[in-house]
Amino acid sequence: MYLITIEGGDGSGKGLATQMIAEILQQEFTFSGVDVTAEPRRDAELGLLAVEAVRTGEAGPVREAVYFAADRMDHSHTWIRPRLSQGRAVVSERNVHSSLVYQGVVGDLGIEEVAQMNAAAMIPDLCIWVDCDPEMALNRISDGTLKLSISSRTDDTEYFETDAYQVRIRQGYHDLLGGVVPMPEPFDAGRVVGPVINDGTKEQFRKKLQIEIRKFLHERPKPLNVPPEEVELYMLTAAMDSQKGQTTLDVLSTKPARSNHDWLGGDKPWEVVREASKLYTEVVDSKDAPSRMDVPQDPLSHPVLSILGTLSLLPAAEISEIRHWLGPVRMVTERHTHRMVKFFDEQSDWVRVHRPLIGHDASRTELRPDWQAFGRVGLAIWPLKEALSEWKRTHEKSSWKHGLSAVIPSNLDAANSCIARLGILGSGKAELTPPTTHDALIDWWQNGAA
């Protein structure tokens, strides 16, 4: 869902930073996967043209910039974007900011002209600028650790691997990424952090990168290259496909059984939300509740619907499996995931945690059948959850039955997203087709029919 790029002068530690950031993303966050790439591409014809131009310096800044832009365009739309749309994170060692510096500043082509050449490429959501002592960087270059492995090379030094060019390159990064020179459109939409100085141990460098990644992702920024709803529809489809062929989702024999087709259990969606909201509020406000539960007050809040909605799609699952299926849109931190599961298990009794009696297997969490409907309804109305919560706060005495019809007129795109979600999740009644219009969506909400 996010394109994260690593930039900086040669020898600054970009390769190490790329590896560390990919590990942090895999360990701490709920992307469906993490992919690592680099530009220019050494395994693509367009990328090899760019590499050869850099190797000799004979192409000139215009042709060199064109080669890089062509490689980046192909890379963006055939490799990067498809992965972003699947909820994956892509970490790229070098991207468009390298062209802006190398050809736009150092090559004297001009930042605006280079930006126009690359305007249709993916926009880095986050650019992490790494830097180090200039003498250390030059030593790394001269040691041969940065050499390009091109079979046709006859010279061991690219034209930019000289002290004079390195000084200009480093200054170019400081000017562009440091804000001295305005970032050109459309790349001014992305966020730049740094310089992250690589002047200590690997552990210290990793900690600095970890702080920046956490800060960025915990703010839940809107992705620049793919709509979040496109990602979520992919994640929901993948989760439903993983359950095909199962008539029930339960590990233990329970009545009523959970179902992928009749998950409403004969209830109306608005009634499901009304009853769940009432019970949730009673538990949160209970005198027996711990003084520091640190759980949301709103039953339609992001953490509540994230955890219960995801559990409604799964059989009994370990925390790691739950977090995998949360994906980047429903992302909840690992600590908060544990906290919410514990609350639902010990306070609300909406889930049960199967703790192994022997061995070292992890505990598995299962949503109780009675609450599958609320989890699925929560996923269906997710695009409208804030609007519905606000409507209920300002209309306390009104019935939930009228909530959807009240908020749809001012949230048409969100309502369309709800319809698309129900096309994946189903109507909740095996014999009824999901709604396809706003009126049918309201009828589904009020009557459980479409």
Number of Cβ atoms within 10 Å of the Cβ of 450: 21
Number of Cβ atoms within 10 Å of the Cβ of 186: 15
Q: Which of 13, 24, 12 is nearest to 4 (CA)?
A: 24
Which strands make up the sheet holding 88-93, listed edge to edge? Answer: 33-38, 88-93, 3-7, 126-131, 191-197
Kind plus residue range of the DSSP H or E element containing 16: helix 14-28
> Between the CA of residue 250 and those of 207, 242, 346, 367, 428, what are the distances in Å?
41, 14, 20, 9, 17
Q: Which of 111, 112, 114 is nearest to 64 (CA)?
A: 114
Q: What is the pLDDT of residue 148?
A: 40
Kind plus residue range of the DSSP H or E element containing 285: helix 269-285
Q: What is the pLDDT of residue 151?
A: 35
Q: What is the pLDDT of residue 15?
A: 92
Bridge partners (DSSP) listed for residue 243: none
Q: How many helices (H) and strands (E) does the chain have?
A: 19, 7
Distance CA 219, CA 213 (A): 10
Q: What is the pLDDT of residue 245?
A: 55
Query: Which tokens is 332 given?
Result: 């909840």
Burial (CB count <10 Å: 0-12, 13-18, 19+), residue 358 = exposed
Distance CA 381, CA 442 (A): 11
Kind plus residue range of the DSSP H or E element containing 202: helix 202-218
Q: CATH top-level class for 3-218?
A: alpha beta
> Between the CA of residue 10 and those of 125, 141, 422, what are the distances in Å?
22, 7, 50
What beta strand segments (E) does 185-253 contain? 191-197
Cβ–Cβ < 8 Å for 133, 198: no
Distance CA 340, CA 322 (A): 12
Query: Which tokens is 124 given?
Result: 């880095």
Pairing of strands 126-131, 33-38: unpaired
Give the pLDDT of the chain (450 residues) as one tens digit per residue: 999 999 998 888 899 999 999 999 999 999 999 999 999 999 888 888 888 877 766 667 788 899 999 999 999 999 999 999 999 999 999 999 999 998 898 887 899 999 999 999 999 999 999 998 766 655 665 665 444 433 333 344 454 555 677 788 889 999 999 999 999 999 999 999 999 999 889 999 999 999 999 999 999 999 999 999 999 999 999 999 887 755 444 545 455 567 788 899 889 999 999 999 999 998 888 766 666 567 888 999 999 999 999 999 998 889 999 999 999 999 999 999 999 999 998 888 889 988 776 655 788 999 998 899 999 999 999 999 999 999 999 999 999 999 999 999 999 999 999 999 999 999 999 889 999 999 999 999 999 865
- Give ranges for CATH 3.40.50.300 in the chain: 3-218
Burial (CB count <10 Å: 0-12, 13-18, 19+), residue 405 = middle
Q: What are the backbone angles phi and psi of residue 131, rounded to the nearest 5°?
A: -150, 165
Kind plus residue range of the DSSP H or E element containing 17: helix 14-28
Q: Which of 351, 342, 353, 422 is nearest to 382 (CA)?
A: 422
